[in-house]
Chain A
């Protein structure tokens, strides 16, 4: 997308002074620097020190980074969100894709109602979503309890260590399924009608139309949805943090990297080490997002 966006501007005006653009861009950039670049710089600075409850603040060089590389808590939290990501993101995106294609097929009854209703959970704050699902998951008296009673078994145990990632994944999927569906749907809507007419003249069936027209047209939207989902997964915090009261032994203080960073700072007063965790996670996320983007765009230009 980069080259295209820049190219499109090349025809833009260049005559009346080269810097007029800054007039529009400067306010954003000032806030961006203050709210993003400066905190990053400060985090980098912090990560080179160690402040103790007793004994004060010392410069320690890269000791925090060395400690992090050897920190099994950090890596286990990282591995957990990685597993979460590899399973939850594809499931959610495929479901969203199916829903979007169904909406776009014009073969649905009451398509408009479906569209807005499935999208609604996105408007529910993550905190509220976790509260609702927390009630529903209740193994004694929640819906889960009723369901188990019905089957006369203990089939569903949302708060056990084997199930907890699924339970959280379900909440996240519930929250963002409709959102991704709308992104895909909106992308499908701008596919020019002529393409479909051509396909129809060629006698292509609906499956064929999906594979050869719709999916390629969706590639950009899929890439962007994937990137945002990856970032979201690596940042996982609200849902597990709120479910922690319901499953204290299963969701530990280092359940996700973000929870680890939070608990290091605010329970353990280890601000410097916490900043190190934040930086390393930021770098990893940025690199992965970049790779996905590059791969996504390269395929498009194939």
Chain B
């Protein structure tokens, strides 16, 4: 009974805290365990030791934890794979709601981070002086964890978008590598005409891909200022992307195979999907999932609208965050710092096929000289590093982006399913988001 009472009181307090934080109370040091920390506290905590729970689905997680425990023998880290992406967020959200059960450290993708930051469930790491680490990371990833002057995590990886393409297939039908989206559409038509079973790309509608493409096109559909949110999925950039992509959707030039399915891997390997516009982490995916395509694939910069200025967006990637429920936030912060800035950890992560967020790694000669067999010894990281340098700035996700993405298929997905104007779907998405946001107490306006 006591426990239950405590939980209820705890929940009530959390609610108060959320309200206070949202009302503009600028104190960044709420929470229970680690108010007013500083950099020395982290070192002291690492020396003193303790036990941490860490939620992550990164394949290199176990190796990283083992290396960390070796470096800090007094700290024990319990690694838990609580699910991939949304599955984990659901559980994390439940733990936040229940007031207990959250880990000390969790992996959270950039798009989901504002949602947890807003619920006041994350520790502000700037209290430990982690602001100083800014120069270590690419500006795109830092901007994703540094929200409204608070540092909610340290970047693990990044996903600057590039174009991965099946060079063998392009050569076979003598199609030039497209530099603009117009050329890309022309290539799509030419390819499909030459081989009706081959498609330029596979896309049945994916929220993460859509938002990244809008980002690249210069659209900034979500504007967030505290609890005031503006949604405009018909701004200039968004429309620019939608009108371009309509050419592919309405003319049925996209393979109707959802990403990451059995069929998708088979089509990637078998030369039926010619390109993927994807984050720089994609080589790891295709190498492990579509071994049959080895030697066929290459990478080029993402096409642009004007064919002149290189511009791209982030797609995927995420950070490690410290949960406010953690009983030992300083120690958790120490672990996160080691995880995402020490050479040993970052290299372990790279070896598992990830793409880094740290500038030192991105510019290191070893990294740039990597020539994977899968890509016929193309030094792919040179291209991807270029992408990393040209990520457009100023993008914001919604503070309820996880929910937004969950209803994407109900709205925009319907346009894809009917091979009709994506703008119609985007408008439906927008009105659903405005409705939901207002129901949840945000002030959401459609502009």
Chains A, B in direct contact (C-beta < 8 Å)? yes
Residues of chain B within 8 A (CB-CB) of A248 are 204-205, 258, 409, 413
Check if A268 is an interface residue, CB within 8 A of chain B: yes
Contact A53 B410 (CB under 8 A): no
Interface of chain B, main secondary structure: helix
Question: How long is the Cα–Cα vector from A54 to B18 in the complex, in angstroms?
Answer: 8
Output the least CB separation between B278 and chain A (Å). Answer: 18
> Which residues of chain B in 195-214 are interfacial with respect to chain A, using CB atoms and an 8 Å cutoff?
204-205
Cβ contacts under 8 Å, B256 to chain A: 139
Q: Which residues of A contact B267 (CB under 8 A)?
A: 140
Contact call B410/A254, Cβ cutoff below 8 A? yes
Whether B258 and A246, one on each chain, are in contact in the complex, defined by CB atoms closer than 8 angstroms, is yes
A269–B118 CA distance with the chains assembled, in angstroms: 14
Q: Is the CB of B416 within 8 A of A53?
A: no
How far is it, in angstroms, between the C-alpha of A52 and the C-alpha of B414 when the chains are bound? 28
Most buried by A among B119, B257, B402, B403: B403
Q: Which residue of A lies closest to B405 (CB)?
A: A267
Known: A248-B258, A267-B90. A253 touches B410 (CB 8 A): yes
Q: Which of A86-134 contact B (CB under 8 A)?
A: 134
Report whether A141 and B94 are in contact in the complex, using a CB–CB cutoff of 8 Å.
Answer: no
B305 interfacial contact with A, CB 8 Å: no
Interface residues of A in 139-186 (CB under 8 A from B): 139-142, 145, 161
Q: How large is the interface on B (under 10, 10 to 19, 20 to 34, 35 or more residues)?
A: 35 or more
Q: Is the CB of B406 within 8 A of A249?
A: no
Which residues of A from 247 to 262 have beta carbons under 8 Å from B? 247-250, 252-254
Q: Does A263 contact B (CB under 8 A)?
A: yes
**Shortest distance in angstroms between B230's beta carbon and chain A's nearest beta carbon?**
16
* Chain A residues positioned under 8 Å from B19 (CB to CB): 54-56
| A135 is an interface residue with CB less than 8 A from chain B | yes
Known A54-B440, A54-B442, A249-B417; judge A142-B263 contact (CB<8 A): yes
Decide yes or no whether B24 CB sits under 8 A from chain A. no
Q: Is the CB of A52 within 8 A of B257?
A: no
Provide the bound-state CA to CA distance between A134 and B261, in Å. 10
The complex places the Cα of A206 from the Cα of B127 at a distance, in Å, of 85
Contact with A along B94-105 (1 / 0, CB 8 A): 100100000000
Q: Does A266 lie at the interface of the complex (its beta carbon under 8 Å from any beta carbon of B)?
A: yes
What chain A residues lie within 8 Å of B413 (beta carbons)? 248-249, 252
Q: Given A53-B441, A248-B204, A249-B205, do A269 and B409 touch, yes or no (CB 8 Å)?
A: no
In contact, A53 and B266 (Cβ under 8 angstroms) = no
A269-B97 CB under 8 A given contacts A140-B263, A246-B258, A249-B413: yes
Interface pair B262/A268, CB less than 8 Å apart: no
Tell yes or no: A138 within 8 A of B by CB.
yes
Q: How far is the CB of B258 from chain A (nearest CB, A)?
A: 6
Cβ of A55 and Cβ of B441 under 8 Å apart? yes
The A-contacting residues of B in range 402-423, CB under 8 angstroms, are 402-403, 406-407, 409-410, 413-414, 416-417
Nearest neighbor of A50 in chain B, beta-carbon distance: B439
Tell whether, in the assembled complex, residue A249 and residue B204 are in contact, meaning their CB atoms are under 8 Å apart: yes
* B374 within 8 A of partner (CB): no
B410 touches A252 (CB 8 A): yes
Indicate if the CB atoms of B410 and A140 lie closer than 8 Å: no
Q: Mark A219-242, 1 if CB is under 8 A from B, else 0.
A: 000000000000000000000000
By a CB distance below 8 angstroms, the chain B residues around A269 are: 93, 97, 403, 440
Chain B residues near A270 (CB-CB < 8 A): 439
Does A299 sit at the interface, judged by CB under 8 A?
no
Q: List 11 A-B contacts (CB under 8 A).
A: A53-B441, A56-B19, A138-B262, A138-B263, A248-B204, A248-B413, A249-B204, A266-B90, A267-B402, A268-B403, A268-B436
